[in-house]
């Protein structure tokens, strides 16, 4: 949009007697219109002042305000009367735009009526006081409706108003459903109440939405967009945008660029889009969704059962309280749950994954991952690749998957399954169960009469007696158990004679 600013004065009059009570200089009338609006017109109304008829101004999609230091700013003008007049007198010949506003509040004068006057053509003498204005009024010999280029029924070019022009607009909405397009320039849009639609256009715009269910599109530029109390839909567009929404159920798409996005108290859906984005899903208890898409993204969720996904690059995702679901996507991701029963999936890439507190499900996916269950009874799956799998506290279920994996049970009664590959397993404290897998596994801390080995997958070994007689041997200070398919399980630091039947489950 385009802003035209006219400079003028305000004459404050008694509501009862019309006497001049005060005079204010440096008044601005700011008129904001779409870029394709270049003129205004007006017709004369049938009612009038004593000397001229009032005007009915026509201009498309106007957004206007009066600004002055001595009175409250009037937004979206509640103007009682409008008029275009020619005035003349001793040394005076001018065309004036006038706006009459009832019941204005003027500093030091209380409430009164005010004429806001803007010289469009010609000139008037310098006036700075109410007394000088009264002398000026008394000197006029002619007051009537404007003629010529400023006459009624004409298309009056906005550029002929003597206004300063800028594309950096301040646009303010109403209590209704507004539709704004900022166009060129660095605009500020305050949408107001109602279900509004705002397009910032080109430039670095600032958009604040009100209480309704609003739509905002920042378009090109590095924009700042703030949601209101309704269920808002916000798209940042191109550029590095800052977007924050309120307590409604909001949808945010950051678009291209390195965006910063903050959710509010509702169940929000937040997409970073292309670029290295920072997303904070908010601290409420509603269930949020946050997705990074392209770029190296950072995502943080708050309370509630949230879902977050990183996208194609190396992302960092941390969730808050609640039972959350995290997807790392492609790239070498850093993922972390917190309190609650979280499900965390590393997917592609060499990921570092923390389950956090609660009974978590952690899966590494493809790549060489480092997986940590944390507090709680966790299930941790390495997936493809050479993974490091940690259970930590409580009773954890650990599986290496394919690849050469390292498993650490930690405290608690854990189950460790190395999967395929050459795996090393350490149970830690507690009564742990190790699975005899199909390749070559090593148990570093097998505790006789405490830990157990599940032998159901050991081909060709029928029972403990068969194992001791035909499949167990001492080698280098360790016990090596070999199945009929040449899969091996090495128990470090033990001899065959140390083994007891109760430690093996067939």
**pLDDT tens readout for residues 147-204:** 999 999 999 999 999 899 999 988 888 888 989 888 889 999 999 899 999 999 999 9
What is the per-residue pLDDT for 75? 46
What is the per-residue pLDDT for 76? 46
Residue 446 domain-assigned (yes or no): no
Q: Are residues 90 and 228 in the same domain?
A: no
- 176 is in which domain, residue-wise? 169-322
For the chain, helix, strand, coil in percent to 5 are: 5, 40, 50
Q: Are residues 128 and 222 in the same domain?
A: no
DSSP state of 133: H
Mind listing the pLDDT tens digit for each residue in 275-285? 999 999 976 78
Task: Classify 63 as helix, strand or coil.
Answer: strand
Does residue 73 surpass a pLDDT of 80?
no
What is the per-residue pLDDT for 58? 83
Residue 173 domain-assigned (yes or no): yes
Query: Where a domain ends, among 110, 134, 166?
Result: 166
Provide DSSP, 405-446: -EEE--SS--EEE--SSEEEEE--SS--EEE--SSEEEESS-
Number of domains composing the chain:
2
Residue 196 domain-assigned (yes or no): yes
133 Rama sector, left if φ>0, alpha if ψ -120 to 50, beta otherwise: alpha
Query: Where a domain ends, among 290, 322, 354?
Result: 322
Q: What is the pTM of this model?
A: 0.83
Q: Are residues 129 and 190 in the same domain?
A: no
Residue 444 domain-assigned (yes or no): no
Mind listing the pLDDT tens digit for each residue in 288-339? 999 998 899 999 998 899 999 998 899 999 999 999 999 999 999 999 999 9
Does residue 69 surpass a pLDDT of 80?
no
Q: Are residues 314 and 231 in the same domain?
A: yes
Does residue 476 surpass a pLDDT of 50?
yes
Under the banding of pLDDT at 50, 70 and 90, the label for residue 109 is low
Under the banding of pLDDT at 50, 70 and 90, the label for residue 103 is confident
> Can you tell me which residue has the tokens 């600013």?
5
Query: Where a domain ends, among 294, 322, 350?
Result: 322
Q: Are residues 115 and 181 in the same domain?
A: no
Residue 503 domain-assigned (yes or no): no
Residue 442 domain-assigned (yes or no): no
Q: Are residues 87 and 112 in the same domain?
A: yes
In the chain, what percentage of residues exceed pLDDT 70?
A: 95
Q: Are residues 88 and 173 in the same domain?
A: no
Q: Are residues 242 and 144 in the same domain?
A: no
Q: Are residues 179 and 141 in the same domain?
A: no
What is the per-residue pLDDT for 74? 47
Q: Are residues 27 and 157 in the same domain?
A: yes
Does residue 70 surpass a pLDDT of 50?
no
Mind listing the pLDDT tens digit for each residue in 418-465? 999 999 999 999 999 999 988 999 999 999 999 999 999 999 999 999
Mind listing the pLDDT tens digit for each residue in 200-252? 999 999 999 999 999 999 999 999 999 998 999 999 999 999 999 999 999 99
Q: Are residues 64 and 120 in the same domain?
A: yes
Under the banding of pLDDT at 50, 70 and 90, the label for residue 110 is low
Q: Tell me how many degrees the CA angle 100-101-103 measures, rounded to the nearest 5.
A: 140
Residue 484 domain-assigned (yes or no): no
Query: Between residues 462 and 29, which one has the greater pLDDT?
Result: 462
Measure the CA–CA gap between 228 and 248, rounded to whole angstroms.
Answer: 8
257, 238 contact by CB (below 8 A)? yes
Q: Are residues 174 and 155 in the same domain?
A: no
Tokens of 6: 């006219």
Residue 421 domain-assigned (yes or no): no
């Amino acid at each position: 949009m385009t802003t035209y600013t006219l400079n003028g004065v305000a004459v404050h009059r008694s509501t009862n007697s019309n006497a001049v009570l005060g005079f204010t200089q440096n008044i601005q009338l700011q008129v904001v219109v779409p870029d394709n609006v270049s003129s205004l017109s007006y017709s004369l109304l049938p009612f009038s002042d004593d000397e001229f008829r009032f005007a009915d101004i026509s201009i498309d999609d106007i957004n206007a305000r009066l600004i002055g230091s001595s009175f409250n700013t009037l937004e979206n003008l509640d103007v009682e009367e409008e008029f275009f007049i020619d005035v003349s007198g001793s040394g005076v010949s001018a065309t004036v735009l006038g706006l009459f506003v009832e019941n204005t509040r003027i500093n030091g004068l209380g409430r009164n009526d005010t004429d806001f006057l803007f010289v469009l053509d010609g000139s008037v003498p310098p006036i700075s006081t109410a007394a000088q204005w009264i002398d000026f009024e008394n000197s006029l010999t002619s007051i009537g409706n404007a003629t010529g280029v400023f006459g009624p029924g004409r298309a009056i070019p906005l550029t002929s108003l003597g206004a300063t022009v800028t594309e950096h607009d301040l646009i303010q909405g109403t209590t209704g459903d507004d539709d704004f397009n900022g166009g060129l320039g660095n605009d500020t849009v305050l949408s107001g109440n109602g279900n509004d639609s705002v397009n910032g256009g080109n430039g670095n715009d600032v958009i604040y939405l009100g209480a309704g269910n609003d739509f905002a599109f920042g378009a090109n530029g590095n924009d700042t967009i703030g949601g209101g109390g309704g269920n808002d839909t916000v798209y940042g567009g191109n550029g590095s945008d800052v977007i924050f929404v309120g307590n409604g159920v909001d949808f945010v798409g950051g678009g291209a660029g390195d965006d910063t996005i903050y959710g509010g108290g509702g169940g929000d859906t937040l997409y970073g889009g292309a670029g290295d984005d920072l997303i904070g899903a908010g601290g409420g208890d509603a269930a949020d969704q946050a997705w990074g898409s392209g770029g190296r993204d950072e995502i943080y969720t708050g309370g509630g059962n949230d879902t977050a996904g990183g996208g194609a690059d190396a992302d960092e995702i941390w969730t808050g309280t609640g039972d959350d679901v995290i997807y790392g996507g492609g790239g070498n991701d850093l993922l972390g749950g917190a309190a609650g029963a979280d499900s965390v999936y590393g997917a592609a890439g060499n990921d570092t994954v923390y389950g956090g507190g609660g009974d978590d499900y952690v899966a590494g996916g493809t790549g060489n991952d480092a997986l940590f269950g944390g507090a709680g009874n966790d299930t941790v799956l390495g997936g493809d690749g050479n993974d490091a799998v940690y259970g930590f506290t409580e009773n954890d279920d650990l599986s290496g998957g394919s690849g050469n994996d390292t498993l650490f049970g930690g405290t608690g009664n854990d189950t460790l399954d190395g999967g395929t590959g050459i795996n090393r397993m350490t149970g830690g404290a507690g009564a742990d169960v190790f699975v005899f897998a199909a390749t070559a596994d090593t148990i570093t801390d097998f505790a006789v009469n405490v830990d157990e080995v599940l032998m159901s997958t050991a081909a060709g070994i029928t029972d403990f007696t068969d194992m001791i007689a035909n499949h167990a041997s001492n080698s280098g200070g360790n016990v090596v158990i070999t199945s009929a398919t040449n899969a091996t399980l090495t128990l470090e630091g033990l001899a065959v004679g140390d083994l007891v039947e109760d430690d093996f489950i067939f």
